[in-house]
Amino acid sequence: MRRHGARSGRGFGVFLAFSGAYPSTAVAIQRPSRVSDDTYKHLIRFCNSCGAGVTHRIPEGDTLARAVCDACGTIHYQNPKLVVGCVPVHGDRILICKRAIEPRYGLWTLPAGFMENEESAAEGAAREALEEANARVDIEDLYTVYSIPHISQVYMMFRARLLDTDVSPGVESLEVKLVREDEIPWDQLAFAMVKRTLEHFIADRRAGSFVTRFGDIRAPHR
Ligand code: ZN
């Protein structure tokens, strides 16, 4: 996620703790707060159409507060960001990357980053593997989808075949390596979604069949 270092960094610090017991994947419909946390953190102050100051209010016919420009009428919607990544596999080994950037500097992750405009989710996942680990992959199938409502992000992780083992750290990685199951640094993983995706992957590989999953990752303290 090199191109978005500054922008991407904002959200990740929040879900630092891996809870021992994962929340159920049962879907609980919750009404969003009037203004999401995300909106507060990334509050729009000026209209990007005309440059006037905006006000934050609920537009007529809407249910949530938006940044509204009273000068030109533009309503600035803020919506969740998609993060795409993959589990690159070569034989019985999985490619992981040690982060060279905050948050979670020095911890291990799967290659993933913010999707760019005008690319597909699978293209974005392959691009991130190339950027973070100089890894060439074939994206095989969607594997896990995690919603992280408190930071307004959705992760889409794919299973991928690593085409060769000629990998090396990209600018966002201190180190990259191929690990077998017993070499996964479980206590040094950067994000809950990495841990959950790897746990599912190991279990599914043992079972001989991969099952696509979705779930929610909630703030540890709320
Ligand atoms: Zn305006």
Over the chain (222 residues), the average pLDDT of each successive run of 10 is: 42 36 42 44 86 95 95 95 98 98 96 98 98 98 97 97 98 98 98 97 98 94 56
Beta strands per DSSP E along the chain: 55-57, 66-68, 75-76, 81-90, 93-99, 108-109, 112-114, 137-148, 153-162, 173-179, 213-216
Q: Which amino acid is at 61?
A: G
What is residue 221's predicted lDDT score, i.e. its pLDDT?
Answer: 63
Ligand 1 center to 76 CA (angstroms): 9
SS3 217: coil
Cα-to-centroid distance, 206 and ligand 1 (Å)? 56
Do residues 67 and 150 share a domain? no
222 within some domain: no
Q: Which domain holds residue 161?
A: 2-16+80-216
pLDDT in the model for residue 181: 97
Beta bridge partners of 8: none
- 31 domain residue, yes or no: no
211 and 121 in a common domain: yes
- What pLDDT does 29 receive? 45
Domain count, the chain: 2
Does this model's pTM top 0.75? My answer is yes
What residues pack around ion ligand 1 (CB closer than 5 A)?
Answer: 47, 49-50, 52, 69, 71-72, 74
- The answer to whether residues 151 and 210 belong to one domain is yes
Distance 3 CA to ligand 1 centre (A): 28
Give the distance (Å) from ligand 1 centre to CA of residue 114.
28
CA of 54 to the centre of ligand 1 (A): 7
Query: Does residue 125 sit within a domain?
Result: yes
Question: 53: domain CATH number?
Answer: 2.20.70.10
Q: CA-CA distance, 54 to 73, in Å (whole number)? A: 10
Q: How far is the CA of 39 from the centre of ligand 1 (A)?
A: 18
Ligand 1 center–CA 42 separation, angstroms: 18
- Judgement on whether residues 85 and 180 belong to the same structural domain of the protein: yes
Q: How far is the CA of 66 from the centre of ligand 1 (A)?
A: 13
Tell whether 71 and 89 lie within a shared domain.
no
Contacts 24+ apart (CB under 8 A), 51-58: 58/34
71/90 same-domain check: no
